[in-house]
Amino acid sequence: MAGLRLIVGLGNPGAEHLRNRHNAGFWFVDALARQVDGRFGMESKLRSETAKVSYAGQSLWLQKPITYMNASGAAVAAALRYWKIEPEEMLVAHDDLDLPPGAARLKFDGGHGGQNGLRDIFAHVGHGRFHRLRIGIGHPGPGNRDRVTPWVLGRPSASDEAAILRAIGDAFEVLPLVVGGEFEKAMHKLHTSTEEQ
């Protein structure tokens, strides 16, 4: 399987959203940029903040769409076209209601699971054949559909935030494998490590 050339973090722009659960994808790419001294700059034609970094021996683009979560697809599709990157060479990091805080899962292809940023990427790219990093944020509970929006747009408790950051750290442990195209190996290692906690 091809290695990665683009890592997209999904979230909402603005200081008021910075610590929201919905911004876990931004947390991931921000932490990655810090790790490799990457600097985000505004790329207005891509409606994104972008950074070019060297990681695990590869040249990588990092992208944070500034379109708000529900309209992420146009920015992502524009970046793929502009940099001539295939969707299969992209990893999208996003929050996931179906996983508890502290869990991180890698996935390739499949549905969007109701995640609105993914849903919009599907609409613009035309399919779901790209890599995802699902970062667990937990769920407000069964029968609480009306609480989902305030939940994802709310700030996690201190213990949940620590668990989410720990899951991001676990994902970093296997990221060199993902970037190098060893996706199955990375998936096995990540899923085994987070199940043991």
**Which residues are identified as catalytic?**
22
Contacts of 115 (CB under 8 A, 6+ apart): 10, 94, 95, 96, 97
CA 109 to chain centre: 14
Three-state SS across 13-42?
CCHHHCCCHHHHHHHHHHHHHHHCCCCCEE
Instruction: Give the integer Cα–Cα distance in Å for 195 and 84.
Output: 37
Please choose, from the candidates 174, 167, 97, 104, the residue with its C-alpha nearest in 3D space to the C-alpha of residue 138: 97
CA 176, 177, 183, 186 torsion-angle sign: negative
Instruction: Say if strands 6-9 and 104-108 run parallel, antiparallel, or are unpaired.
Output: unpaired
